[in-house]
Chain A
Amino acid sequence: MPRLKFATVWLGGCSGCHMSFLDLDEFLFDIAAIADVVFSPVGTDAKHYPEGVDVCLVEGAVCNEENLAMIKKVRERTRILVSFGDCAVTGNVSAIRNVLPHNVYQVLERAYLDPDNLNPRIPDEPGIVPPLLDKVLPIHAVVPVDVYIPGCPPPASRIKEVLVQILQTGTAQLQGRDLQFG
């Protein structure tokens, strides 16, 4: 059997979902036994998302231009895209700024100008700092998603349940308390 190409991606989230992924402990060895980690902020140094990925866990909402370009690339190159955690599935805390009427400017103003920074300035480095999108979006509002894992963060047991189901059946559907948001 060819080895599975496995990836994880970190968009607009706090990395808590990835910390929970690392909480899989010994199960990480089981993944390593059957899969190559081809892209992941916690599993490899690879800088480019490769072609032909079998399974990818995507943490975080789509918040900026870089997230947007990345999720489109991930979708194109991935067989099973897993929306991983509440920010990915609902927007969650990342999307709280959507309630502000002029949210992009107000967010930047609050973060970089309001608190009397030593050098108050809104970062503007074209090509380096990605511009924020008008609205923060859950992943399925941008590209089709195959599997959803709610939770902030999802407990390791829930992540394991999804990965085992995918390995056994090619897809996954959580049930009961495993569907709890928050």
Chain B
Amino acid sequence: MPDTTLTINGRQIQAQEGQTVFEVAREAGIRIPTLCHLDGLTNPGSCRVCMVEAVGASRLVPACTTRVSANLVIETNSDRVRDERKRVVEFLFAERNHVCAVCVACGHCELQDLAIEVGMDHVRFDYQHPHLELDFSHHLFGVDHNRCVLCTRCIRVCDEIEGAHTWDLAGWGTDTHVVTDQGIPWGESKTCTSCGKCVQACPTAAIFVKGSTVGESRKHPDEIGFLVKSRENLHCHD
């Protein structure tokens, strides 16, 4: 039974305590864009794309980690939210080297789609152009840190679903990056099962199947949610 009522974009919506604003909005057919959220995984609230306005709060809050409460009034599409969301996406493009024209994910990239959704026609911030490495040591997959948005989907899917915990974050600030087995080349990893879940979960071409060329990398992130649901069903039958 619904046990609380909140307001999203002027609509009274019933929800259950413990649900997030993101979940409730989605059930009500209100789209909140996101990059780090992936069905079946925990929410780190790291990408800041799903920021919404909680009326009365001075700062915007991430919809994916904010729990619903009675009398909460949320705006998901105000001028302020749209401005902020666009700025966040521009920062993502400015931080690393996202050269869509020569990217294996071009045309099938969640970051590229997000830029379209927020109406980004140019980036107002200085591009950082960091010098980043590529890792082609794995026999099936490649890592291109130029395209990484640090959403941590790879880390979470590997830890929470595959149970291998090959991936992790290393470094601080602008030096933060994903690593395999605490920083050794992926191909030398003892924990990686080569299951490819990180490839499917990755929203850009930071992790991809080797041998793909421009525009050929098509991901299936929905498979992660499907897998989790299937497991839940399996447990029901036990």
Contact = CB atoms under 8 A, between A and B. Distances in A.
Interface of A: 83, 86, 89-93, 95-96, 98-101, 135, 138, 140-141, 145, 148, 150, 152, 173-177, 179-182
Closest CB pairs A-B (n = 3): A182-B100, A152-B101, A98-B129
Contact of B116 (A91, A100, A177): A177
Given A93-B101, A99-B97, A179 B121 contact: yes
A95 B101 contact: no
Q: What DSSP secondary structure best describes chain B's contact surface? A: loop
B208 to A, nearest CB: 15
Interface of B: 93, 97, 99-103, 106-107, 112, 115-116, 119-124, 126-127, 129-132, 146
A106 to B, nearest CB: 11
9 contacts: A90-B123, A93-B101, A101-B131, A141-B126, A145-B122, A152-B101, A174-B121, A181-B112, A182-B100
Given A93-B101, A182-B103, A98 B122 contact: no
Contacts of B99: 90, 92-93, 96
Contacts of A177: 116
B130 to A, nearest CB: 7
B121 A150 contact: yes
A138 B103 CA distance: 19
B131 A179 contact: no
Contacts of A95: 127, 129
Nearest to B100: A182
A120 B188 CA distance: 40
Contacts of B115: 179-181
A176 B119 CA distance: 7
Nearest to A173: B121
* Residue of A101, A138, A148, A179 most packed against chain B (CB within 10 A): A179
B94 to A, nearest CB: 10
A92 B127 CA distance: 11
Contact of A148 (B93, B102, B122): B122
B188 to A, nearest CB: 26
A99 B121 contact: no
